[in-house]
Amino acid sequence: MRTLEGVLARHPFFGGMDPRYLQLAVGCAANMRFAAGELIFREGHPANHFYLIRAGRIALETPVLGRGSLTVQTLGDGDILGWSWLVPPYNSRFDARAVEATRAIGFDGKCLRDKCEQDHELGYELQKRVIAVLGEHLDATRFRLLDIYADVIE
């Protein structure tokens, strides 16, 4: 039988993390499932969770006037979903929708923020990891925008 702590330790986001931080994080975690098409969170709404994607795909979307929703990035196995739980005012910056049935580990953002306040080393470790993921998301968004504008210019 797999433990939640063992699953976290094998996930790329938590890879190499001090076991005592894993123990703190696992207290805020739960297994989650999302059906294909299910809206996970909406842009501008409170960001109370973040997710480690174990299997499946999730699209980050943003509304575009007159065009509906635009998929900015699609996340899959090994990715994390959500960073706004860590950055005030704790509101989601995108919509997130399951593209297919998805299994994830969900974390209660307030629970983690409280633990980070109590243990600043945990907070620093999580911030470093989230910032690295944010850099990857910014790169992906930039390339997606280049694709969009290339279509407009042609």
Written as one letter, the residue type at 53 is I
What is the signed CA dihedral for 45, 47, 49, 54, rounded to 10 degrees?
A: 70
Structure-token pair, residue 143: 């390339």
Helix (H) or strand (E) holding 25: helix 19-26
Main-chain phi, psi angles of 150, to 5 degrees: -65, -40
Structure-token pair, residue 142: 């930039």
Name residue, tokens 């294909």: 36
Which CATH number goes with the domain that contains 27?
2.60.120.10
Burial of 105 (0-12, 13-18, 19+ CB in 10 A): buried
pLDDT of res. 15:
87
Give whole-number Cα distances, 87 to 83, 91, 134, in Å.
Answer: 7, 8, 12
- Give per-residue pLDDT as tens, 27-84: 999 999 999 999 999 999 999 999 999 999 999 998 888 888 888 889 999 999 998 9
- Domain encompassing residue 91: 4-151
What's the rounded mean pLDDT across residues 112-119? 95
Q: For the whole model, what pTM was predicted?
A: 0.85
Provide the number of structural domains found in the chain: 1
pLDDT of res. 153:
58
